[in-house]
Amino acid sequence: FTFKNVGFVVQAICDYLKDNNLMGNGIFIGYDNRFLSEDFAAHAAKILSSNKIKVYLAETSVPTPLTAFMAVDLKLDGSIMITASHNPSKYNGIKFIPYYGGPADDKITKAIEKKLSMILDSLSDCSPEKSDKGNKILNKEVNAEYNTDTNNIEVVSDFKNYKDKLISNINAELIKDVKPGVAVDTMFGAGSKIFPEIINEELHLNAEIFNNYRDPLFGSKLPDPSEKNLAALKDYVLENKLDAGIALDGDADRFGVIDGKGIYISPNNVIAMMLYYLIESKRYKKDDTAVRTVATTHLIDEICNDNNLDLIETPVGFKHIAKIMLERNVLIGGEESGGLTIKGHIPEKDGLLAGLILIEIQSHLKRKYGFMSLSDYLEKIYKKYGKYYNRRIDIEIPSERKADVINYFINLKDNLKARKIQNIKVTDVSDRDGAKVIFEDKSWLLVRASGTEPLIRCYIESKNSDFFFTLLEFTEDTINSLSQ
């Protein structure tokens, strides 16, 4: 991840904007707390400026969802975020966010990739005409040493509208009145400044905030709010008898939560719980829809069916959820990897929003029941719809064997002698995104090939604990045997 390569990508974005007449409204640039992120952002700003594009550059690190919101709030042609999200500290990345404030769809991404290929081809071509063009791009537009154009750059430090948008999506008065005990771990990430401001200054919670300063190494951990990374938050919640602990990932688009009993609640269960709460608190209309990815819990389906709410399943990736949100009234959209948003907010996953809604739910429980933890609330939902056992596992496999594994599961009905596992029949197999196998008792398993690593990602869910572990063992054994 170099200044030169950042320059190539940003110039490709500029060329895409020019081709689509998206030059008049400007671009917002945000960045996270990684090493040199602010310098990469400043470099990107100069390239945009040299292309006669107005730039709104964040004065300090900001969350990805804030960066997405700014495109909508300022009515811009899009935003650029410098971040590698929850990935290791040695990585960084560039995310282009279109004008609608959500992930770029495949059409936009492919158009930018095509422009990037043209730039790189022009640099490698030996013909005088293309060589001159390539040198111009390299020296004048994307090389930090030569690029000093700052005429169209405005530094932005006021993000009140984003804070107000978040607060408008929650019952702030309930939270202020109940004052639940909360601790927050921002994991040295881009939410380190703004989330504590909302929690303590706007909602008056006097929460203990952990890791809310810049550390490009993220405390030598992954900036990922998974259970294994929240041990210190859990201990603090238990020692101080708090109601909840909320965590954000490196760019604050994902969340993690520890409840007052020290129990980690998975994103799968949080999304289902949040859907149930939104319905229970009468925040939905008859034409609303819930959206989940193919890898996300079917507990959501049960809740939707019980409340006559439409449900749409999408491939993995929040861009697919965003597409539905732009077309329909979506009450909640979520994916098992820790991303969600709700009606009235941007079509982008927002960890701050998720954290605030969880605090609202805890406030509601505390007021109504005196004390009920988030896991107690989940048990209440289980009593109504049944308990769902689910897990994701990643299995290493040679890249050349990935297709064999996926094809085996796509043809699982034919590959199983009796078309059954533990006397439970396979009723359907979908190849929409990997291979998803549905059983007659509504258990399911999904296998997907990682696009970037030599891995098969497996998702298993069942309401029958014995069958769940059988499916888990069957999936692991099958993939391991096929990888030989």
What CA–CA distance (Å, rounded) separates 57 from 242? 38
Looking at residue 27, which CATH number applies to its domain?
Answer: 3.40.120.10
Tens of pLDDT, residues 236-271: 999 999 999 999 999 999 999 999 999 999 999 999
Task: Give the end of a domain, one of 136, 157, 178.
Answer: 157
At 130 the pLDDT is 54
Task: Give the end of a domain, one of 338, 362, 385.
Answer: 385
Instruction: Quote the Cα angle for 221-224-225, to 5°.
Output: 115
Task: Give the end of a domain, one of 157, 185, 220.
Answer: 157
Q: What count of Cα atoms within 13 Å lies in the side-chain half-sphere of residue 152?
A: 20
User: What is the number of other CB atoms lying within 10 angstroms of the CB of residue 18?
Assistant: 14
- Is the same domain home to 165 and 153? no
What is the phi/psi pair of residue 390, to 5°?
A: -145, 155
Q: Which of 429, 415, 397 is nearest to 474 (CA)?
A: 415
**What single-letter DSSP state applies at residue 100?**
T
Q: Are strands 289-293 and 310-314 parallel, antiparallel or unpaired?
A: parallel
Q: How far is CA 417 from the centre of its chain?
A: 40
Q: Tokens representing 261?
A: 């009993």
pTM score: 0.93
At 298 the pLDDT is 98
Q: Which of 367, 375, 377, 355 is nearest to 180 (CA)?
A: 367
At 470 the pLDDT is 95
**Position 136 confidence tier, pLDDT thresholds 50, 70, 90:** low
- Is the same domain home to 115 and 10? yes
- Is the same domain home to 228 and 337? yes
Instruction: Quote the Cα angle for 123-124-126, to 5°.
Output: 100
**Position 132 confidence tier, pLDDT thresholds 50, 70, 90:** low
- What average pLDDT score do residues 437-450 get? 94
- Is the same domain home to 450 and 372? no
- Is the same domain home to 334 and 220? yes
- Is the same domain home to 141 and 168? no
Instruction: Quote the Cα angle for 159-164-168, to 5°.
Output: 155
**Position 149 confidence tier, pLDDT thresholds 50, 70, 90:** low
422 vs 34, 334, 439, 464, 474, CA distance in Å? 49, 31, 11, 12, 10
